[in-house]
Structure 1
């Protein structure tokens, strides 16, 4: 199996993960800019259910600008006089952006400060709605994220950009973890490698960020290889396929015409392993491709197993929901929805070149 195009440790950061569209279009995209100002990158969390209206937890629907989710959590804890652990949120949203998301505050038997909205406005955060719910907001429970992105620079004049966009709408997007997962210059990956080599301890990684970083890097390596080999959107013998929009999965030992049709209409997606302790569900050629990670990155793979992280799966591609491209003389504006866990930067990097992508 060819592996020469994907190295275990990149010389520079970010790694030159291959684009799916370069071979399709026949050339790399032009350079562009994104997120020059927070207004260029807008994200709205799609929860998928409504708070019940009563309970010990106050749920807050907020809009933040140029602020990380964790910074907002700490600020909210101080304002409400609670511990950080009493604040719940579903997803980590970007800093250089305008984002809307839900947070919860455990306030049994008492109300929020009467000037909560005014105090949050100093951050700056706008309180849009507040409602009670019986339970804390847990990580990863929202259904999707809705994006509106503004791209500028040479990409606006790229004659192939609309073709690239339409191809992504029709065939899906490589489901890479975005560069923000790895920290500036890949620092989180360097820390993860050090911690996993000596043996992971909870006190070194309270939120499990380094474990997540290692798993994300291994997944990106696997996806990069599959793109290089031209089978990232196809099903290999023994492939674990995931039903679009769900966690349902099954192993495909043989690929018949019916299954091929489902792959082509994005009803099911090939998947890759998120490494950890346990047994690979994939078989045959698909399993051999995933097992190769142990040879290429033994420190990360063995360290994750010793840490007790449970092996799981992630789709190799993701569908764009409600996609829209608006094109004028100064900018491209993209609107689309992605399931939770997918990165808008993976869409952007297929359309343009940028030093951070």
Structure 2
């Protein structure tokens, strides 16, 4: 027996209660209108067996770029590393590593990459392969158009998000057109997940993302998505550090208000939750509503994790132009630009209700749904 999943989901926006629904808007008309730059919090050491390459790619998934890089360097794709999966329909900059012990980069590497829409910006060495998830954040620069920019409330919506943060929903692309990734995950988990059915972990990730978004949506409806509950696990902003707030006093509420810490939601998996009280009761309610999904994830061996319910927009900037606007902001690793855009404009690809129109939208591409372990 499998869980009944209603699709499309009615996951509410935060700002509708305050400003009403946003007006229609457009974004990502071209790859150049959606720019992403990966941010590390360390620098390569300048020596070692791994060649690190700072690359700009256009209209390519990260996986596609990695395969092109492996071909150009004459190595296996497994010898190429990267930290995060970036958008396809975008211009993105990120680091790749190539295992070349005792070897120099091919003399024609820059030209070979250029022929595949990859621009080599810098190169250096490091002792270790670049691992998934080691980046700190992603910097976005996005071009918006349409009636939403003429709405007097647009500036207020943007200012509110800059001050209070954004609900940290997983974006529509995580679930596939019409929720197909999720529906397939339900079937696969009911029958017993196998690696050969889901080599990239996309189905496991879709299931966990659905459970997280469902929990977050309930908190948004109640208006307490940014305020810790008694027994909640809170996450320090910009850090993996977390602790259980056994009691919520004025000091904790003040820290949450200034975005120093955030409530968190469960990423379902094996391992005991350290939440207590009301927060733990909500996690148990989630398992009662979706027992097959939760049990299937545990049988698959996915380890329990936490994700902040809120994201802070770092260094936000708004630039108005003639019939357009550019937004710039940095989001912590794992954050979706679509979570920000969804609060500002109405667009079919942001609604969860229709298949994405054209290329995927957000902070990751189609193969980026690997489970966070």
TM range (shorter): over 0.9
Which position in structure 2 is the counterpart of 1:4? none
| Residues 58-67 or 324-333, more deviating | 324-333
Do structure 1's residue 39 and structure 2's residue 32 form an aligned pair?
yes
Q: Contact between 1:169 and 1:320, CA under 8 Å: does it hold in 2?
A: yes
Q: Residues 1-357 of structure 1 correspond to what in structure 2 (within 5 A)?
A: 9-12=5-8, 15-25=9-19, 27-357=20-350
Distance 1:42 1:163 in 2: 24
> What do the CA deviations read for 1:300-330 (whole angstroms, capped 9, x no partner)?
1111000111111000001010001112331
Distance in 1 (CA, whole Å) between partners of 2:149 and 2:161 is 17
Structure 1 SS opposite 2:348 = coil
Three-state SS of the structure 2 residue aligned to 1:356 is helix
> How far off is 1:191 after superposition?
2.1
Q: CA deviation at 1:186?
A: 2.1
Query: Contact 2:84 / 2:133 at 8 angstroms: preserved in 1?
Result: yes
User: What is the CA distance between 1:22 and its match in structure 2?
Assistant: 0.6
Which shifted more, 334-343 or 182-191? Answer: 182-191
2 CA distance for matches of 1:122 and 1:156? 38
Partners of 1:63 and 1:99 within 8 A in 2: yes
Secondary structure in 1 matching 2:297: helix
Q: Which consecutive unaligned segments of at least 5 residues does structure 2 have?
A: 351-373
SS at match of 2:288: helix
Give how far 1:130 is off: 0.9
Alignment check: 8 A CA contact 2:7 2:178 kept:
no
2:7–2:179 Cα contact (<8 Å) kept: no
Choose 106-115 or 161-170, whichever is displaced more: 106-115
- State the aligned residue count: 348
- Note the C-alpha offset of 1:8: 5.6
Residue by residue, what CA displacement relative to the aligned partner does 1:195-246 show, whole Å, maximum 9, x if unpaired?
A: 1111111122222222112111111111111101111011111111111111
Aligned partners of 2:60 and 2:87 also within 8 Å: yes
Give the 3-state SS of the residue equivalent to 1:138 in structure 2: coil
Distance 1:16 1:64 in 2: 35
Unaligned runs of 5+ in 1: 1-6
Instruction: Provide the rounded CA distance (Å) in 1 between the counterparts of 2:144 and 2:196.
Output: 41
Q: TM-score, normalised by structure 1?
A: 0.95
* Poorly superposed stretches of 4+, deviation over 6 Å: none
- Are the counterparts in 2 of residues 19 and 227 from structure 1 also a CA contact under 8 Å? yes
- Return the alpha-carbon distance in structure 1 between the equivalents of residues 337 and 135 of structure 2: 16
* 1:43–1:148 contact (8 Å) kept in structure 2: yes
For 2:179 and 2:120, locate their aligned partners in 1 and report how far apart those are by CA, in whole Å. 34
In 1: Cα distance, 2:102 partner to 2:181 partner: 40
Separation of aligned partners in 2, 1:79 and 1:190:
38
Aligned-pair distance for 1:284? 1.0
